[in-house]
Amino acid sequence: MELFDFYRKDRWPHVFCPGCGNGTVMNCFYRAFNDLGLPLDRTAFVGGIGCSSRIPLYINSDALHTTHGRAIAFATGLKLASPELKVVVFTGDGDLGAIGGNHFINGCRRNLDMTVICINNNIYGMTGGQASITTPHDFLSTTTPSGNKEYPFDLAEIAVAAGANYVARWTTRQVHELTKSIKTALQKKGFAFVEIVSQCPINFGRRNKMPDPTQLLDWFKESSVRRDKARTAAVDHVDLNLAGQITVGEFVDRNRESYEELIGVVKHG
């Protein structure tokens, strides 16, 4: 399958700003999906509200564009009604962690068979740069003009604690590793969660002295620490300050029983 058979060529160029990381994730997702050879007509994509949740609308397949924060709730219903479908959720940090935080935690706990790809750009990019739950400490945004006094959520660690089967985090600088992780997540039975720390040059970088997307990518490269290496270097604790360190890597890979197996859902069709 060519790239523009997977995506809707008539919708191009897409609406994302120049240098936005969503396009990078689209490339990596296409590569992983294509390498696995999954059927596009047996896959459903779900998105909430936000920049990253627009990605399902560009894919040449059935997509569900839902209310703010409820992407996982809709995906749960979709998966239980049609268990033969593969369900992929594209979502952002505000959509998944802030407004839909409870759905996210309970989705991980229920361990339903779906793949969740969260593009964490550290800000509410679409609505004009308000501070979100993942804005790093002391970083500027529209609503925190003197620096963010709160500490950010660590979405990957929450997913591990809540019981997801596969959890990984990468940045848009590590494209090959990210492609490999998405591939593993698509094959995984149960709740697979991939968090991608992505750049938002317009609303996040511009207010934090990094207006060029390459400066943000440089920052990701400098501050990324592999989780397996971090453990040996005795910095195993989760550094909640993204300005200090972004822990990347595979967080967990396990085989808990999924919800469908527990309640005995019968596939039809």
Partner 1 sequence: MKPVVDPKLCKGCNICVYICPKKCYSRGTDISDIGYFDAIVDAHEKCYNHNRSGKLLCELCILSCPDQAISWHPETEEEQSR
**What does the binding site for partner 1 look like in residue numbers (CB under 8 A)?**
3-4, 7, 12-14, 16, 18-24, 26-28, 31, 172, 175-176, 179, 201, 212-214, 217-218
Q: Which is nearer to partner 1, 115 or 172 (CB)?
A: 172
Are 213 and 165 in contact by the 8 Å Cβ rule? The answer is no
What's the min distance (Å) between Cβ of 24 and partner 1? 5
Q: Which is nearer to partner 1, 27 or 82 (CB)?
A: 27
Distance CA 14, CA 23 (A): 9
- For the sheet with 43-47, list strands across it: 62-65, 43-47, 86-92, 114-120, 191-197, 166-171, 246-253, 224-226
Q: Which is nearer to partner 1, 85 or 126 (CB)?
A: 126
The 10 Å CB-count burial string (b at 16+, else e) for 68-98 is ebbbbbbbbebbeeebebbbbbbbbbbbbbb
Least Cα distance to 34 among 68, 64, 5 occurs for 5
Q: Which residues contact 232 (CB under 8 A, 6 or more apart)?
A: none
Q: Which is nearer to partner 1, 26 or 108 (CB)?
A: 26
Distance CA 234, CA 230 (A): 6
What's the min distance (Å) between Cβ of 93 and partner 1? 18
What's the min distance (Å) between Cβ of 90 and partner 1? 15
Q: Which is nearer to partner 1, 3 or 243 (CB)?
A: 3
Q: Which is nearer to partner 1, 84 or 218 (CB)?
A: 218
Are 32 and 117 in contact by the 8 Å Cβ rule? The answer is no
How many CB atoms lie under 10 A from the CB of residue 62?
A: 15
Q: What are phi and psi of 212, to 5 degrees?
A: -95, 135
What's the min distance (Å) between Cβ of 22 and partner 1? 7
What's the min distance (Å) between Cβ of 223 and partner 1? 16
What's the min distance (Å) between Cβ of 13 and partner 1? 5
In Å, how far are 13, 226, 241, 258 from 16, measured between CA atoms?
Answer: 9, 29, 27, 35
What's the min distance (Å) between Cβ of 242 and partner 1? 20
Q: Which is nearer to partner 1, 218 or 261 (CB)?
A: 218
Q: Taking the CA atoms of 169, 234, 218 and 176 in sequence, report the sign of the dihedral they define.
A: negative
